[in-house]
Amino acid sequence: MIIKTPLGIPFFDAKYGGIYPNRVALVTGRAGAGKTIVGLHFIAQALRQQERALMLSTRPSQDLVITAESLNLPLAPAIESGALTLLEYNEFVPGRDHEANINLPPDGFIQLKEIIEQQAVQRVVIDSVLPWITLPDATHLPEHVFSLVRAFERLGVTALFTLPRPVSAPAVRLRKLVEDVVPVSISLNHDQGVQAHQMVVNKYLGLNADPEGFFFDIIVHKGIALHAAAPVAAPAKPATSPVSIAAATAAAQQPAPPPSSVSPTYAQHAHLSEAVAPAASKGRASFASLMLNQSQPGARPAPGAAGVPPPMRAGPGRGGA
């Protein structure tokens, strides 16, 4: 029997039984689609299971804690106890929309690996993974992506990677390279017709893709919940045909929502828990080596960058997921 672990989104877990442990799941979506909030649910699930967790994000740690608190996903106690580590890409500039411009040092992955091993981390969120998989020369990109995903899996962690929604041919190719080597790939969109977010399952190893997915809302004090008008999905059926990447890509190209249409109740929520912010600052780990490399302006990581083990070519038993 195949063992699974909950993603932390109730309606997804009810249909799919969760995701595969010690593997990587991918979540793609435009800004504001809910990628980070899915990541927070994923972390909260780890804490409920008494697993140690780590989240590396472009968002300030205090913002993550406040956002989680507003969605009834308290992180402060876990930070205080050491069960949760929050790391930042401190040199990310909001609004720049170019996570790929964050330069990771050659030993970036080695340092992250040491933190994961020292803290006995079991769940990891990389929000966004774009800085880790962007290379100036795309010649070795497939091997680099394959190597990175396998490196996380060899650490024995269940990981969630997020990516911005692809808007160019190279970005679509990059998303597909990641999607080809992970067992689960999800896209987040916004359906203006029903005024709700949409979660589309592009790929689920062993099961059919679900281009219709789920409609959901992001609700204050509740988090991600199935949209009120959405029918309850039946359990997923075993796959009978290959996953259609074209259909998944088309589903991901939904029109962008106007800023005010993204969960108005959540967007208008102004409660900031002052008791939470100090805990966030206290629990934030320093990850200075993952900042923009100020000593070498313009430096870019070479193939196999960020300390990822040298690219491995798929051989017997190393095929993509």
CATH number, position 216: 3.40.50.300
Looking at the chain, the number of H-run helices and the number of E-run strands are 11, 9
Does 15 map to a domain?
A: yes
CA 304/CA 282 separation, integer angstroms: 33
Does 317 map to a domain?
A: no
What domain count does the chain have?
Answer: 1
Does 199 map to a domain?
A: yes
Q: Which amino acid is at 222?
A: K
CA angle (184, 149, 163) in 5-degree steps:
60
131, 160 in Cβ contact below 8 A? no
149, 24 in Cβ contact below 8 A? yes
- Res 6 pLDDT > 50: yes
Q: What is the dihedral of CA 25, 83, 71, 129, to 10 degrees?
A: -30
Name residues whose C-beta falls within 8 Å of residue 193's C-beta, 6 or more positions apart in sequence: none
Band of residue 303 on the pLDDT scale cut at 50, 70, 90:
very low
201, 14 in Cβ contact below 8 A? no
Q: What is the pLDDT of residue 273?
A: 29
Q: What is the pLDDT of residue 108?
A: 85
Q: What is the pLDDT of residue 99?
A: 55
Band of residue 101 on the pLDDT scale cut at 50, 70, 90:
low
Return the closest-CA partner of residue 96 out of 52, 61, 128: 128
Give whichever of 40-49, 108-117, 189-198 has the largest mean pLDDT.
40-49
- Res 320 pLDDT > 90: no
Maximum Cα–Cα distance across the chain: 55
Does 252 map to a domain?
A: yes
Q: Beta strand 24-29 with 158-164: parallel, antiparallel or unpaired? A: parallel
Average pLDDT rounded to a whole number, residues 150-179: 95
Indicate the pTM of the whole model.
0.73
Band of residue 34 on the pLDDT scale cut at 50, 70, 90:
very high
Place of tokens 């063992």: 3
Average pLDDT rounded to a whole number, residues 167-174: 91
Q: What is the pLDDT of residue 225?
A: 95
Query: Three-class SS string for 301-315?
Result: CCCCCCCCCCCCCCC
Structure tokens at 144: 């680099």
Does 308 map to a domain?
A: no
Q: Which amino acid is at 178?
A: V
Does 303 map to a domain?
A: no
Return the closest-CA partner of residue 278 out of 67, 61, 83: 61
Q: What is the pLDDT of residue 79?
A: 96
User: Which domain covers residue 154, as residue numbers?
Assistant: 10-290
CA 217/CA 196 separation, integer angstroms: 6
Return the closest-CA partner of residue 312 out of 135, 148, 101: 148
Does 319 map to a domain?
A: no
Q: What is the pLDDT of residue 103?
A: 59
Does 71 map to a domain?
A: yes
Q: Compute the mean pLDDT over every residue in the chain, rounded to the nearest whole number.
A: 76
199, 186 in Cβ contact below 8 A? yes
Q: Which amino acid is at 185?
A: S
CA 24/CA 1 separation, integer angstroms: 20
Structure tokens at 319: 């095929």
CA 89/CA 87 separation, integer angstroms: 7
